[in-house]
Amino acid sequence: NWLPDWLRSLWHYENQVYDFHVGLTSGHTYESNPWSWLVLGRPVSYFYEEEAGCKESTTGKCASEVLA
């Protein structure tokens, strides 16, 4: 195959994500449509926990919310 391994792997992953979400039958209030995934139409909020003993920043938190 002429495609690099990383590109084939990415394509396979995206295809699995698409197939999973197309098969969902119950909706929820924070769902996103497949067309919006490529442009990050709805940001993804990641969970994080603060580490014990973390130095306090100017915002008063050890970590900030990560949106991707």
pLDDT by residue (tens digit) across 23-46? 878 777 767 777 777 787 776 665
The confidence band for 10, taking pLDDT boundaries of 50, 70 and 90, is very high
Specify which residues 45 forms β-bridges with: 67
pLDDT at 58: 54
**Token duo for residue 50:** 């603060």
pLDDT of residue 26: 78
Provide the pLDDT for residue 9. 95
The pLDDT mean for the chain works out to 74
Backbone angles phi, psi at 45, to 5 degrees: -100, 125
Q: Is the pLDDT of residue 65 over 60?
A: no
The per-residue pLDDT for 14 is 94
CA distances from 28 to 25, 53, 67 (A): 10, 37, 20
